[in-house]
Amino acid sequence: MCAIIAIIRPAQADPRAVVELFTSQGCSSCPPADKILGQLAKDPSVIAMSMPIDYWDYLGWKDTLADARFSARQKAYSRMRGDREVYTPQAVVNGETHVIGSDLAGIESAIGNTRKTDGVMTVPVTMTQSGSQLNVSIAAPGKDAEGLHGEVWICSISKAVPIAVGRGENSGRELTYYNVVRNLLKLGDWNGAPGHWTVPLESIVREGVDGAVVYVQNGSRDKPGAMYGAAYTSLHGEREHAQIP
């Protein structure tokens, strides 16, 4: 007799970077950066997320994907860096530094530079889907990263969202936004020890959501710091079947 089991592919292990793009449908300089984020989203070693902000809505077009929480997050990063640099398109790399979102070479350079910081992207994070829930696991960091602590968050992701912009600086254009964050949920605090969380899909899934990102970050929502680790998984991935004798 043969038993057939379904194996769900786990998220890509050991990504080298988390790249957050703060963008706006009302920003004429943003479309090239949005395309670059789409390229980064294809790289399995990069966790790429688009976070549309709402502070340009007064320019004649209200961003249909914007969330005030993303605007607050961008400003919180600026306060923590102490530079007051808040603009679009802005890419924040590994929670540590910022670069113009349309500068792919600059983003790659920032990835390399931030990896030199103790603890950055050194914590193993895995996420798998099992039926109607997600299982998130965080392993203990290596000896070089002992003493780390922070928060664990999960984000709902829409992989590609086409938008027809009717007014403002991008009037008449149809733009596509990639790996758009649609919701954020804090799973808990992390004190450096191994941890595990079970997340019901109903708590993160909404219309158009087809992926999820989990990240472990130093600091807090109001004082975000370095990214310690992250994982991405598709919520509608293919299943592999294996036969066990």
Q: What residues does each domain of the chain span?
A: 3-235
Band the pLDDT of 149: cuts 50, 70, 90. Answer: confident
Checking if the pLDDT of 8 tops 80, the result is no
- Mean confidence (pLDDT) of the chain: 89
Q: What percentage of the chain carries pLDDT values higher than 90?
A: 81
Checking if the pLDDT of 77 tops 90, the result is yes
Residue 141 pLDDT: 75
CA atoms within 13 A on the CB side of 218: 19
pTM greater than 0.75 = yes
In 73-194, the DSSP E strands lie at 90-93, 97-100, 125-130, 133-138, 150-164, 174-190
Q: How far is CA 48 from CA 21, 54, 108, 215, 245, in A?
A: 8, 20, 13, 12, 40
Checking if the pLDDT of 49 tops 90, the result is yes
Q: What percentage of the chain carries pLDDT values higher than 70?
A: 89
Of 124, 146, 170, 129, the closest CA to residue 15 belongs to 124
Checking if the pLDDT of 97 tops 70, the result is yes
Residue 66 pLDDT: 97
Residue 144 pLDDT: 59
Checking if the pLDDT of 198 tops 60, the result is yes
Quick one: average pLDDT of 41-59? Answer: 96
Quick one: average pLDDT of 26-53? Answer: 97
Residue 145 pLDDT: 59
115 compared with 140, residue with greater pLDDT: 115
DSSP 139: P
Quick one: average pLDDT of 201-230? Answer: 95
Checking if the pLDDT of 240 tops 90, the result is no
Cis peptide before 89 (omega within 30 of 0): yes
**Distance of alpha carbon 89 from alpha carbon 99, whole angstroms:** 9
Band the pLDDT of 219: cuts 50, 70, 90. Answer: very high
Quick one: average pLDDT of 193-220? Answer: 94
